[in-house]
Amino acid sequence: MSVFTVDEVKKTFTNGEVQEQVLKGVNLSLKQGEITALVGASGSGKSTILTIAAGLQPASGGVIHFDGKNMTNMSQEEIRKIRATEFGFIFQSSHLVPFLTVEEQLVLMLDVSGTKMKKKEQKEEVEKILKLVGMDHRKDAYPASLSGGEKQRVAISRAIIHKPKMLFADEPTASLDSKRSKEVMMLIRDLTKTLHITTLMVTHEEEMLPYADHVVTMKDGLILEGA
């Protein structure tokens, strides 16, 4: 059963009197415990569909369903709440807060997502997630002392600490070398399967595609294959 569906989604940007249709009717169906990778040349629309699916910008047309609910009809406040509680995000850069330790980064995410855990419960949950990603020995470290791969592992931990149903990953390995990229992708794949998350990922790196369950190729705002 599909957890997330995108039906005939369109997006048009207006610049003065000029209109550019970036998405021309995109359809996607995403299942629990699977990774779907969006690929295509720059300007193909893959990042646009990810940000629309994640509720970060509105579509110009079409319908998005998540967990049986029509997101298209939701208010901005309802979408914001879903982003905070049901979605997780990984970006090309880790975007860690420089003055917070690894443990504090994750505790902050638990607070923001409204999990309402006691401090002891938060620490236990953080320790469990950091063990999953092999970073429990670095819980007191600050971002400046972490390698690129370690920072991305912390970013992944932060994205899943509140147990989201959906994970959106925008070029999650673009800033890493080949070895670290494979480690991060193996981690995303393992967490997707273990925690039964539905993952939508944008990537331009062909080496990362074997880790995905489905590969969707986009060109000029349309899906060519893989949907």
pLDDT tens per residue across span 52-83: 999 999 999 999 999 999 998 899 999 999 99
Per residue in 171-195, pLDDT (tens digit) is 998 888 888 889 989 999 999 999 9
Contact (Cβ atoms closer than 8 angstroms) between residue 139 and residue 130: yes
Using pLDDT thresholds of 50, 70 and 90, give the confidence band for residue 42: confident
CATH number of the domain where residue 174 is located: 3.40.50.300
Q: What is the mean pLDDT of residues 106-113?
A: 91
- Write down the pLDDT at residue 227: 54
Rounded to the nearest integer, the mean pLDDT of the chain is 91
Whether residue 223 is predicted with pLDDT greater than 60 in this model: the reply is yes
Tokens read off for 135: 């970073």
Contact (Cβ atoms closer than 8 angstroms) between residue 227 and residue 28: yes
Of all helices (H) and strands (E), which one includes residue 21? strand 18-31
Annotate 99-134 with b (16+ C-beta within 10 A) or e (fewer): eebbbebbbebbeebeeebeeeebbebbeebbebbe
Whether residue 137 is predicted with pLDDT greater than 90 in this model: the reply is yes
Query: From the CB of residue 225, how many other CB atoms can be counted at a distance below 10 Å?
Result: 9
Q: Rounded to an integer, what distance in angstroms lies between the CA atom of residue 170 and that of residue 37?
A: 10
Percent pLDDT > 90 in the chain is 74
- Write down the pLDDT at residue 126: 93
Q: Rounded to an integer, what distance in angstroms lies between the CA atom of residue 192 and that of residue 149?
A: 19
Whether residue 150 is predicted with pLDDT greater than 90 in this model: the reply is yes
- Total domains in the fold of the chain: 1
Tokens read off for 171: 């070029």
- Write down the pLDDT at residue 17: 78
Domain span at residue 131?
2-225
Among 183, 174, 201, residue whose Cα is nearest residue 49: 201
Q: What is the mean pLDDT of residues 137-165?
A: 94
